[in-house]
Structures are given as C-alpha cells and as structure tokens.
Chains A and B, each alone.
Chain A
C-alpha cells in the first residue's frame, strides 16, 4: 500500500515545440501493475521571439498564448519497464492583431521506458517514443497552429545517479528525434529560398540534451533543470515573415519541477523559461498537474 514517489511524471512542454509531445525524462519507475494517471494544465506565452537571430516583438501578435490540458497515464509493466501515453487538447490565442485562435486534439504519444542497467544509485535507461497526430488541425498557420501534423519517433538514453541517503540526484539525457513530413492544405509553399510545388513539407529532425539536479524523497521531489532542444536542419524565418514547420528551431531553457504525492493523490508543477533561441518564441511556461495512482493486483 505504500504510495511513494514511484508515480512517473512526464513533463516537457518545452513551449517553442508546442507540437512536440510530452517526454519521459527521468529515471523514476512505476512498480509492476501500478497505474498513475496525470491530468495536467499548461500555459505558455511569449511576447518576443527570434526571427532568425533577430529578437523582436510583434505588435500584431502581442502576447502569444498556448494552453493545453492533457491526460497522461503511465503504467508499470514491471518495475524496470514502464509505458507512458499522453494526449493533449490545445488552444491558442493572441492579445493583439486578428489571427484566429486554433484549438483541438493534438498528437497521441506513446513511450516505453526501460531500465537497462542498475548499479547502486546509478541507472542507465533507454527510452523510445512515438507520436501520431490524432486531430486534423492546420499545421502551417503558425504561430497559431497547435501542432505540426507529423509523426515522430524518438530514441533517448538517460543516465541518473541518486544518492540513497539524501535522495539527491543528477540526471542527464540526450535524444534523437525523427519527424515525418507534414501535409499542408496548399500545394505549393516556399522554404529554403525556393518554391516547392507539392503539399509535402519536410519537417526537420531534432536532438535534445538536458541535465536535471534535484532531491527525491519519500512523498516529494524538487529539481532544477536545463535543456537544449534543436532541429538538425531547416531554414530560418524570413525577415518579417511568419514561422513555418520547415524552420530550424532551437531553444535553451531552464526551469524547476516539483512534486508532492504523499498518498495516492498528488500534485506536480513545472515552470520553464527560454533563455536563448532561434526561430522560436522566448516563452515562459507553467504546468500544474493532478496525479492519481492505482495499484492493480499482481
């Protein structure tokens, strides 16, 4: 009956990548046949962005806001193998200008997290995940679009050390993300300084890397993190033009994450801030979640 910190939480919400699904990014596992369901609300906004390398405001956007609610169940197949799913509903709005807000169900993500190696407080974890668009949203009405309408596949290697007595831990990971082409409503568009006469849009692949330093004790957890997410290719936003799915988006973010779950029910919260970027908004985001854990009979 012990309910402790095993409930797995997945949060990334690196806001410039609103299209990107949530990602498992810790070394915490659910026990066998444990299910944790998280319901989360996220609020992300920016009033400045990097148009290529130029940091600017836009009086016809004002503050761009993306909000979402998300259901995220995580299940322990065993104490070393967890499955995580997530499905967000997202809506966007601006404080100025006349661009129509977009809303809808975005992409379904599924993750498999495997503890490949455990030695004392050290663990090495392999994580693979994929996502598919479920909603038929418009991918290239940026920055209002809620996603990029592409399938993704991500492979991640995560190393973590936790000092057993104090609960102090350090986690680091790196990932490679493959993204499929996206299909747009138009049959011609401009990217890479040329016109493509097709409705197929090449969305760049990504990598990310992060470190997280925190304390995980019985019933609670707190950490600070830094993360770098970047496209491996892509073009830049043209002068005074809007962003596009082909853009080479990059962001370096820092933030804090915390969780309290003394019993079956818990809460978590996360804040993040983009320090530097390319072709993305300098966003501030916060997430709050409600966690509920169920133990099934073995």
Chain B
C-alpha cells in the first residue's frame, strides 16, 4: 500500500509540474492595427505644399469614366464578384492592408531596413568588401542599411507617399468620383468607408510610390515588393473599396510622383557618401584644432568608418549654411575637467552596470539587425498617427515631416561626427553591452535622431509631448548606459537634434495644411 501511495504522490508531482510548465502556449501576440474611418478626410490636402513636386499638375491622371457608363458598370460587376466571398487568406489581406496604406508600407520599409542592417564581414585579406548595388544579394548584401542609409530610405519613402497623395487628393476632388459602394449599395465592403472620392485610389497611389522607392533602395527585394504591391491592390478589390480603374489610375500617379522624387535621390550626394578618401583631411583638421587622439576603428581588422561623407548629402528642411551654423559646439578636450567627469561616469557603469541601465541601453539599442533609430522613430510616429485616426494624406504628412527631420539629423550628425573625429570611450578601456558603432563618438547619433523626431512629434501631437520628450531623453541616456557615448556626446546630440527638428516644424507650420 505504501508503495502505491508513493507512486501516487510522485505521479501528482509530475502532473502538476507538467501543467505548471507546459500549460502556457507559445503563440506570440503582437499589437493589432485595424482599419478606421479617418477622423477627417482632409479634403483640402490637394493644396498642401509638396517636397519635390512643384504642383499636383506635375503628374497627370486620365479623366475617369462616369459611374453611369457601361465601362464603370462592368468594373462594378467585376468588383462585386471579387468581393462577394473571400477566402481566409483574402480576408487576412483585407484586414492587414486595411490598417492603412502608408502605415503598412512604412512598416514594410522598416522590416527591409532591419533585414539589411548588418555590416559586411571581413574577407581573407582582412578587407571589408563594399556592398554592390548591381549585385545586391551577393555577400555582402546591398545595401548595408545602417542608420544614415535607413534614415534616407525612409525619408524618400515618406516624401514620395506624401507628394503622391497630395496630388491624388487634388485629382480626387477634381473628378469627385465616389466610392463603388456609394454608387451601388449592394457592393459588399469589408472596411470602414468615408466621404473621400475613390478615383484615383489612395491605396494604389501609396503602393506604387512606395514600391518605386523601396525597389531602388533595396534592389534585391524586387520580387518581395512586387508581391506586396499586387496583394495590396487585390485587397482593395476583395474589400469592395475600389474598382479596377481607381486602382490603375492610382498606380499610374504613384509611379509618376515617385519617379520625380527618386530623381532627387539620384543627385543628393549619396553616391559619394562612402568616399573614404575624405577622412585623411578630416583627421588632419581635427588634429589641427587640438584633438590629442582621434577616433580609430575598434574592430579587427580595422573597418573603414561608416559613410564618412554622408554629411555632404542634401538636406530637406534646412540649407547647408544653416547646417554648418548649428553644428554642435566642440566637445571637451581629452583629459579636461568636463571630460574627466563624464569619463568617470562611464568607468562607474563599466564596473557595475545596473540591470535597469542595461534594460534602457538594450531597449534603445536599435543596432545591427534592427530597423535602426530612424526606424524606431518612424514606428512611433506611425503608431501615433494611426491612434489619432489620421487620413492617409495626413499620416503621410506626419511621416514625411518626421522622416525628413530624421534624415536631416543623420546628415547633420554625420557632418559633426567627422568634423570633430572624436574618439570612442572604448579607446580608453570601456566595454559595451550593446555593441560599438564604427564611427566617431561626438555627438551621439541616437540623441540627434531622437531629439529631432521628438521635436516634430511634439508639435504634431502636443498632447503626447511629455511621452516623446521622455523617450528622446531616455534614448539619449541609453548610449551612456551602454557605454558607447560620453554624457557630453548625448547632450550635444539632443541639443543639435532639437534645432534640426525645429526646421521641420517651421515647414509644417507653413505647408498650407493649417495643422
């Protein structure tokens, strides 16, 4: 009997252990975004100031056939058959894209940034091969979507979406062709509808413009992007939201607008951003100004610094003269009292980093394999605009303002980094809990990006000002906690970023939106 009791006892221990450990399933829950009718359709957005287009008439849209025409009625019949009953996969596509065209393409772009954000490996000769745009999937893959690269890719994406949508809004209200469900109430719609005219389709405009930019920025991803483009268009048919000519006109407009935006990209100086020949002069200039020890790569073999000439790339919201004028003031001389104070802070963290410091450093690390700090702030901006139920065009405006500010921050920060050529704390024995970026220390890029984005977001969403400012401050400090920046790097970057962001805010105040 005793034996049985024991077996019973053991059995129940095993069972309860199993339940305790195994009962929780492994599915992962991510925040879900669903479609909404916009708080405002922003019917005057066709007059808002664009970045690259001089006017909506820079792009052309064919006059649509009337809803009473046989052509349109045939499209309507086709739409009804496509939207009548959906497969599970079609329903999922409708819900996914229904969250927002700009929202989803921004998210896709961030994912591409993450996928391509890995520095090339050194080869047997101890050299780092440069990614080749003509052979994007070879090792190393093109591009290396580091923070400056990602800031630029996301800025052009957002500008193309915005300019294309402003033009689309202009044509929408010129032609005023209503949505198919307003023509025929028997069209089954799967998403919230609004009073916005349907021709050309804003979804198709965004999809086409985004695809053009992303294919240029990530040339190895053409099949992936084409598949997204096709699914996005189809989802509008499945959802009963657009007839085929709404979509084809939108695609056409999006392609035209994005081509103009990409023409600017081709001449913005990016092709010379990795010109390593400029560093010798930069180093000499920094030494001439009295810097006792310049930045050197801490990697083995020494890696050429990241995009040393990115500071010469064209900016969006401020001019070159201003950029140089607002460059952060010089960092402390190595070994002066201010330097010692901030170095001592790092030494203390190096010795006994707290778990909370590690957490903050990790949360904001956005290093290799991530969508970078510009991607992080695009995400914050997109979520805030989605929460506020912004229309597509207003969402695009928000992301274009934040995105151009982030790219301006990248240009300004890189210009300052290579101007000062200041050594990293790792040159003086510090370790890191987040990984060390391969470029000079002062000022902190995270700080510049974060302050610039937070300044713009604060202006757009004043109710959330404190959140954005706190986040920027924490992102900045995270680099001290991660031991890769001195406190003065972070403070210099925050100040610089605030200034850079203010030029985007000034643009926003004057873009005719009245927002």
Contact bitstring A169-202, B, C-beta under 8 A = 1, else 0 = 0000000001011001111111001111110111
Interface residues in A81-106 (C-beta closer than 8 Å to B): 81, 96-101
Q: CB-CB < 8 A to A238: which residues of B?
A: 118, 369
**Within 8 Å of chain B (Cβ to Cβ): is A138?**
yes
What's the least CB distance linking A53 to chain B, in Å?
14
- Contact A195–B26 (Cβ < 8 Å): no
Closest residue to B430 on the A side, CB-wise?
A98
Q: CB-CB < 8 A to A166: which residues of B?
A: none
- Separation of A126 and B404 alpha carbons in the complex (Å): 62
What's the least CB distance linking B133 to chain A, in Å?
18
**Within 8 Å of chain A (Cβ to Cβ): is B274?**
no
A-B contact count (CB 8 A): 123
**A112-B10, A190-B114 in contact; A241/B368 too (CB < 8 A)?**
yes
**Within 8 Å of chain B (Cβ to Cβ): is A158?**
no
- Contact A186–B28 (Cβ < 8 Å): no
Contact bitstring B348-382, A, C-beta under 8 A = 1, else 0 = 00100101001100110100111100001001000
Q: Which of A151, A186, A201 has the most B CB atoms < 10 Å from its CB?
A: A186
Contact bitstring A190-216, B, C-beta under 8 A = 1, else 0 = 100111111011100000000000000
- Contact A186–B18 (Cβ < 8 Å): no
Contact bitstring B1-43, A, C-beta under 8 A = 1, else 0 = 0000010001001100110111010101111000000000000
Closest residue to B349 on the A side, CB-wise?
A100
**Within 8 Å of chain B (Cβ to Cβ): is A153?**
yes
**Within 8 Å of chain A (Cβ to Cβ): is B245?**
no
What's the least CB distance linking B32 to chain A, in Å?
10
Closest residue to B20 on the A side, CB-wise?
A130
Which size class do A's interface residues fall under?
Answer: 35 or more
The segment from B119-127, B172-180, B190-198, B336-344 that touches chain A is: B119-127
- Contact A152–B21 (Cβ < 8 Å): yes
- Contact B141–A197 (Cβ < 8 Å): no
Q: Which of B18, B376, B431 contacts A98 (CB 8 A)?
A: B431
- Separation of A200 and B28 alpha carbons in the complex (Å): 6
**Within 8 Å of chain B (Cβ to Cβ): is A118?**
no
Q: CB-CB < 8 A to B141: which residues of A?
A: 239
Binding site for A on B (CB under 8 A): 6, 10, 13-14, 17-18, 20-22, 24, 26, 28-31, 107, 110-111, 114-115, 118-122, 139-141, 298-301, 350, 353, 355, 358-359, 362-363, 365, 368-371, 376, 379, 426, 430-436, 483
Binding site for B on A (CB under 8 A): 59-60, 77-78, 81, 96-101, 110, 112, 114, 128, 130, 136, 138, 140-141, 151-153, 178, 180-181, 184-190, 193-198, 200-202, 238-242
